[in-house]
Amino acid sequence: MSTQLVAPHGGTLVNRIDSTAQGTKADAVITLTDRQQCDLEMIAIGAMSPLTGFMGSADYASVCERMQLGTGNVWPIPITCAVDTATADKINVGAEVQLNDGKGRVLGFLKVEEKYPHDKRLQAVSVFKTEDTAHPGVKVLMGEGDVCLAGPIRVVTANHEPEFPEYNLPPAKTRAEFERRGWHTVVAFQTRNPIHRAHEYLTKCAQEICDGLLVHPLVGQTQEGDIPADVRMKCYTALLEKYYHPDHTMLSVLPAAMRYAGPREAILHAILRQNYGCSHFIVGRDHAGVGQYYGTYDAQQIFDELPAGGLKIMPLKFEHAAWSKRAGGMVSGKTFPKIEGDQIFLSGTKVREMLRAGERPPEEFTRPEVADILIASMKQ
Residues with a catalytic annotation lie at: 192-193
Is the separation of the CB atoms in 220 and 253 below 8 Å? no
Is the separation of the CB atoms in 102 and 160 below 8 Å? no
- List phi, psi (to 5°) of 212: -150, 160
Residues 323 and 316: their CA atoms lie apart, in Å, by 21
- Cis geometry, peptide bond prior to residue 8 (ω within 30 degrees of 0): no
CB-based contacts of 106, cutoff 8 Å, min separation 6: 22, 98, 99, 100, 156, 157
What are the C-alpha distances in Å from 340 to residues 331, 345, 362?
14, 12, 18
Residues 265 and 289: their CA atoms lie apart, in Å, by 9
CB-based contacts of 352, cutoff 8 Å, min separation 6: none
Could you tell me the maximum CA-CA distance found in the chain, to the nearest angstrom? 69
Q: Which residues pair with 299 in a beta bridge?
A: none
Residue length, the chain?
380
3-state secondary structure of 357: coil
DSSP state of 105: -
Residues 209 and 52: their CA atoms lie apart, in Å, by 34
Span between the terminal Cα atoms of the chain, in Å: 49
